Each structure stands twice: as C-alpha cells, then as structure tokens.
Amino acid sequence: MKFLRLLGLVMIMMAASYPLNAENLSPANEWITLGTSAGPIPDAVRSQPANALVVNGNVYLADAGDGTAGRLASAGYSHKAVRAIFISHLHFDHTGGIPAILALRWQTSAREPITIYGPPGTRDTVEGIFAFMEYGALGAYGVPGQTPKPANYQVEVVELEDGSTIDTGDFTLTAVRNTHYSWPEGSDEWKKFQSFAFKFELPNSSIVYTGDTGPSGAVEKLAQNADLLVSEMMDIDKTVEAVSRANPNMPEKALANMRSHLTAHHVTPEQVGEMATRAKVKKLVATHLAPAMLESSEVDYYTKRVRSKFDGDFFIASDLDRF
Amino acid sequence: MKFLRLLGLVMIMMAASYPLNAENLSPANEWITLGTSAGPIPDAVRSQPANALVVNGNVYLADAGDGTAGRLASAGYSHKAVRAIFISHLHFDHTGGIPAILALRWQTSAREPITIYGPPGTRDTVEGIFAFMEYGALGAYGVPGQTPKPANYQVEVVELEDGSTIDTGDFTLTAVRNTHYSWPEGSDEWKKFQSFAFKFELPNSSIVYTGDTGPSGAVEKLAQNADLLVSEMMDIDKTVEAVSRANPNMPEKALANMRSHLTAHHVTPEQVGEMATRAKVKKLVATHLAPAMLESSEVDYYTKRVRSKFDGDFFIASDLDRF
C-alpha cells in the first residue's frame, strides 16, 4: 500500500517537474486556439477543434477534439490544470480528445476535480469514457497489492440547457442554443440534441464562442459588445465546388441539398463579419476553418472577405495562437 | 433518406479529396513513429506513444495515444486507411487516441472494417468507446429523418493471448507477453492484465515492437534476427534523480522502491543495446523516450550509451520519422 502511494507520488512529481505547467506562467488571462481545423477530417497541420480559456492560471477548455492534451502541453499547460471542459455539442470532432484528457488525468494521479459541462447527453457520453477506462484502471501499474482509484475519480458532469448560467468562480458562463442542428422546435430531437454557443463573462472582459453554428439571432444577441468573439467559419461555396469537381456526375439536386445543409449549419466569412458588426464586438477571431487556409494568400483572401463586413480587429487563428 | 445518403457521400468525398491519403502515396512499406514520448505526461513536442506500420498502402497502428489521428494525418495518411490497431497493453498513454479514431471514422462515414487487437480487456475497453459515442451518434448531423449507423459499425475486436498469431493478409503478427507488469505467474491478475510485445512478419522482412517492457527473455527471443527492432527506452537513473531532487525529504526506501519498479518494468539505454545485440537485429530504433531527449547533446549522449552495447544501425526516433 505504501509502495502504491509512493508510486502515485512519483507520478505527481513527474507532472510537477513538467517545465511549463500553469504554475510557472504569469497569470495573464488568455484564450488559446489549440486546434483550428473544422473537423471531422484530421488535418496535417491544424488540430481538431479545441480552445483553452486560461483565467487566474486555471485552464478551461471550450471543446476538445483529438489531440487536445498534447496541444495543451505545447501551449505550456498541464492537462492537470484543466478545471472544466465546456462541450458546445456532441459531434466527435469536438469531443474526441476528452477520453485521453480524463484517462491521462487518472494515470498521472490528478487530485483536483474537473467538471464536464455540455448539452443533454453529456452524462451518457462521459459515463462511456469511464467504461472505456474501467478495465485499464483496474490493471493500473501492474503491481500486486495496488488499490487503484475508480475511473470517475474527481470527475463531475453538469448538463446545460438553453439559457443555463454557471459561476465557476473565475467567470460566469452562459449557454445559448445556436443553429447547428435543424430539428423542428419543440420536437423530441430538439430537446435531446442541442448545440450551444457560450459566453464567458470575466470581471473585466467578456468572450463569446459560437461553437458550430449557422446564422443565429440568439448568438448575435449573446455576443453584443463582447470584447472577443471567437467564431467558426466555413467557405461553403468552396466546399460544394470541391465535391462537385470530384464528382462530375453528382445530380444538381444533390449538390443543392448539400449546399442547403452547410448553409443552415455553418457561417461564411461574410456572415462572420456581419455578425461581429451587428454585435459590436471589439475583436473577432475566426477558427474551425474550412478550407485549411494555410497559404498566406488564402489567409489574405479570407481576411478581406471578413473585413468587407467588419472593420474592427480581425484574425484568422492558427493552432496555439493566444488572444 | 436520400438526403442523408448524400450527406454521407459528401463526407466520403471530403475524405477522398484529402491531399495526402494512402491512395496517393507509393506503396512502400514503412514504420512511422507517430508519437515518441514515454507518456503518460503530455509533452510539448513528442506526442503520446503511437506507431504506424504501412504495408501495401494499408495502415496498421501499434498503440495509439492521444492525438494519433492528427499525427497520422501529418504523416500523410487518412484515419480511414487504418485496417487494424494492435494495443500492446491497456495503459491510457497507449490507448487514449483510439476513441477519436473510431469516432472520426464514424463521423466521416468510413465503410471499410477495422479490427482492434489487444490483451484481455480490449473488448470491454472498446465497448466503452461505443458507449462514449452512442448519444452523439444518435444526434448525428442534426437533420430530421436521418438514420445514423450504430457506433460499432464495421469495428471488430480480437483479444490476444501470449503466443497468439494473426494473419492479416499483409503480414503475420505474433504477440508475446513481456515484463511490463509484475503479477505472480498464474495469478488472477496475471491472466487478466497482460502486456505484449509484437512481431510483424512481412514476406521479406520482420519488425519487432517491444511495447513497454522491462528486460525480457521472451522479447529477446521474439526479436531474433529481426530486420527492425523498435524498443522503448527510459533513463531510470535520471527519473529517480529528478524525483529525488524535487523532493529532498523523500525517504531512501521510497526512492529505492521507485527504482525497483521502474527497473522491472522499463529498459535503460544499455539494456536496449544489449537486447539488440543478443537478438542480432539489423536495425534498432528507440522510442517511448524518457526524458524527452530533444537537445542534440542529449540525443548524442543516449546514442553513445546504446552504441556502447550495440554496433548496428541505431536511431533515437522523433515523431513522424520513417523506417
């Protein structure tokens, strides 16, 4: 038993000796775009959707796609500094990195609690992660006599609804339903499957994160006068064109249907700019990018399209950018 | 319904237009070290343990820690080209990236089957991943009338035992129990929690991957005359020293216990060299590195330690190296 406690201690110390963990950084509050790809197709350069809001040295994630634990380390923060994860919706490009975060927390003997906030279904989703971890947790470090902690040790889940507010101590969070899903209002699916935008109200500033959304009056209202608006952005025409080029025999009706779906559930560069202008935000950052916008000519092209509708500060995010 | 089929088609096409997927590469067989950190603490530069064996354009993963889907994209391969994942043992630094791979396969309408091979407990682990995916899969793309595929669509699980052999069509795989765990032989735990080394026998070459292991006659025997030995490597002295330095009051006995644990379950640079020499392997690659060995002086130092025991080809792997 004593040996096992020591083994836990070792893991804690290994984490503590990590060169750039939260404790070693100045406590400047910042928003870090950890992964800026639109998902769900893994990209060679941009990681899957993930963001970190750092407040008073505490890390809060807004979505956490594949590889978030690694991206967080690259940003200089320990996975053990994560106090909460806010899931905008349960598409896997936004949740694929959560199992690794919870599992690596367990494996490195994290003792601080973490809370997973998200739409209805978040509890079932996180229970599934515990099931994924259960057998491995029982085996632990393969040492006779060990008494490993359960997979759900120090993990809480809170499901949100449209309009929910949460006070974390570092900020107040508000969740608002956006238009990433097309369920008829009031239907069973409309209740079961929700997609959110989030507002983070800090003592001296406010940040709004759209999540994945089409044009939405509710999101625009949420973003009114925000200091920072972090928005998804998709070149829908280019996506439709790429599919059409790759499939010259695709019927016109099929292409029209696809365009209709993408148009309802995502926003174009012009729509991003219009939303920011109408909401009078101070700074605008585009992430969740399709196409990848890796060439500077592409960045210039899309920047111009957004600036044609918004004349404030605007940036197309790269992975690990800080705002 | 037709619309949903089209939506699936769109996702397939988006994947098909991916610039560097397996189909676009020459079919040279290669071993790619996708993630070369020892885990479980996420590293700023080296990703968690993961490797890809590419044979005839098919991708086979040997372990898949956090971020493997992204690292695979960086290596030029689609997550949909993965035909199988071989899990050496169920520590989460080796499995944390599997949920994202299965979930992103589902989300991008992968149609080809994938098989997850691993020790006892792999079935429960993968069933947990399906539970993690279930709610999100039901919501799918948020379009009324959709009939989404179940989370386990085209995913098979095969549990291995010490000595199991599998013919994939591209190679024969042999799993052999290594010494990463210390259970008394024949105990319940010894049966329940197994850790493997793998041998991949291709028509014209053979590769042995140690997984995580201490010194092991069985692994050495498996590696006899291999063309490539991919071994874990840990500077145990340095790890113990780092802990001791960070905790000057830690009792001598505690440090001795820790050293004893690491010594039984991992291999030093000298032991890696000795294993390669005794097994007469043609080429030796060290991965699963602790410490991170990022400075060239560190690489030189550890290379010398290995070469003091092995005079064949030797490399300390970086992420995305190809052999």
Residue B229: C-alpha distances to residues B51, B56, B210, B312 (Å): 13, 20, 8, 11
Q: What percent of chain A has pLDDT over 90?
A: 77
**Surface of B (187-226) touching A: CB under 8 A:** 187, 189, 192-193, 195
Of A73, A136, A180, the CB nearest to B90: A136
Predicted local distance difference test score (pLDDT) of residue B239: 82
Predicted local distance difference test score (pLDDT) of residue A27: 58
Predicted local distance difference test score (pLDDT) of residue A28: 80
Q: What percent of chain B has pLDDT over 70?
A: 91
Joined tokens for residue B66:
């956090």
Give chain A's mean pLDDT.
Answer: 90
**Taking residues A45-53, what's their average pLDDT?**
98
B131/A142 CB distance under 8 A: no
pLDDT band at A251 (very low <50, low <70, confident <90, very high): confident
- Asked if residue A21 has pLDDT above 50, the reply is no
pLDDT tens, residue by residue, A257-292: 778 888 999 999 999 999 999 999 999 999 999 998
B93 part of contact set with chain A, CB < 8 Å: yes
CA B293 to mean position of chain CA atoms: 19
- Collect the ranges in chain B with pLDDT lower than 70: 1-27
Predicted local distance difference test score (pLDDT) of residue B289: 95
Report chain A residues whose CB lies below 8 A from the CB of B138: 192-193
Report which of residues A98 and A292 the model is more confident about: A98
Q: Give the HSE-up count for residue A149: Cα atoms under 13 Å, Cβ half-sphere.
A: 16
pLDDT tens, residue by residue, A139-150: 988 888 878 899
Q: Lowest mean pLDDT of A117-131, A239-253, B281-295, name the range.
A: A239-253
Report chain B residues whose CB lies below 8 A from the CB of A136: 90-92, 95, 121, 125
**Taking residues A133-144, what's their average pLDDT?**
90
B12 part of contact set with chain A, CB < 8 Å: no
Of A73, A141, A143, the CB nearest to B42: A73
- Asked if residue A2 has pLDDT above 50, the reply is no
**Taking residues A151-170, what's their average pLDDT?**
97
Q: Lowest mean pLDDT of A69-73, A241-245, A261-265, name the range.
A: A241-245
A43/B127 CB distance under 8 A: no
Alpha-carbon gap, residue B63 to B95, rounded angstroms:
6
Global ipTM: 0.91
* C-beta atoms surrounding B108 within 10 Å: 22
A125/B144 CB distance under 8 A: no
B186 part of contact set with chain A, CB < 8 Å: no
Predicted local distance difference test score (pLDDT) of residue B145: 81
Predicted local distance difference test score (pLDDT) of residue B245: 80
Report chain B residues whose CB lies below 8 A from the CB of A100: 48, 65-67, 92, 96-97, 99-100
Report chain B residues whose CB lies below 8 A from the CB of A65: 100
Predicted local distance difference test score (pLDDT) of residue A306: 98
CA dihedral A92, A95, A96, A98 (to 10 degrees): -160
